[in-house]
Each structure stands twice: as structure tokens, then as C-alpha cells.
């Protein structure tokens, strides 16, 4: 039953895509009547470019942060967190003791 339903849907999908790709039988329409060109207009006068406004120079400072560690610990944060987790005992949601390092 399922195989037949999948086969039927596949055939319908492929035939629908094929018919949509062919475009169907569109009826040709007549070409619209040619229009006359509008009368030429007078060219607008050129405008003057605005005066540039003076921009005050701002002081620009660049700083580079090379260390975001705290407490004077030179180890990377991930290693420090693993070490702290291993040193402390954690409890789970049911208040059971869990061995350090088993998380």
C-alpha cells in the first residue's frame, strides 16, 4: 500500500513538473499599437556642487588587549575550568555525589 502511494505521488510530481516546464498552450496576443515619441523637453540647468563642510579632526586611539585572564593564572581559561572542576566535587539534580572528573 505504501509503495503504491509513493509511486503514485512520484508519478504525479514528475508529470506536473514536466507539464509546467512545457509551458502549456498560451494564446498569442496582438502587438500593441506603436506610440509616438513625446516632444523633447528643455534640459534642466546644471546645479552647483555644495561647498564641503570642514570636519574637525578627532583624536583616534587604538588599544590592544592581549590578556583577559584574572587572578594572575597564566593558564588558558578552558584548562583552568577543567582543573577547577576536577578539584571540586559536583552534585547532580538528585543531590547524589558524583566523583570528580566523571562529568
DSSP assignments along 31-96, one per residue: PPPPPPPPPP-PPPPPPPPPPPPPPPPPP-----------TT--S-HHHHHHHHHHHS--B-TT--
What are the average pLDDT values for consecutive 10-residue runs of the chain, which has 103 residues? 92 89 72 79 83 80 70 64 68 55 60
Residue 98: the pLDDT is 59
Residue 81: the pLDDT is 75
Residue 44: the pLDDT is 81
Amino acid at each position: 500500500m505504501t509503495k503504491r502511494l509513493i509511486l503514485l505521488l512520484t508519478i504525479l510530481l514528475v508529470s506536473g513538473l514536466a507539464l509546467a516546464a512545457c509551458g502549456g498552450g498560451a494564446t498569442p496576443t496582438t502587438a500593441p499599437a506603436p506610440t509616438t515619441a513625446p516632444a523633447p523637453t528643455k534640459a534642466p540647468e546644471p546645479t552647483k556642487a555644495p561647498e564641503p563642510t570642514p570636519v574637525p579632526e578627532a583624536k583616534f586611539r587604538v588599544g590592544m588587549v592581549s590578556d583577559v585572564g584574572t587572578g594572575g593564572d597564566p593558564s588558558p581559561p578552558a584548562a583552568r575550568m577543567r582543573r577547577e572542576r576536577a578539584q571540586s566535587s559536583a552534585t547532580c539534580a538528585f543531590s547524589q555525589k558524583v566523583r570528580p572528573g566523571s562529568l
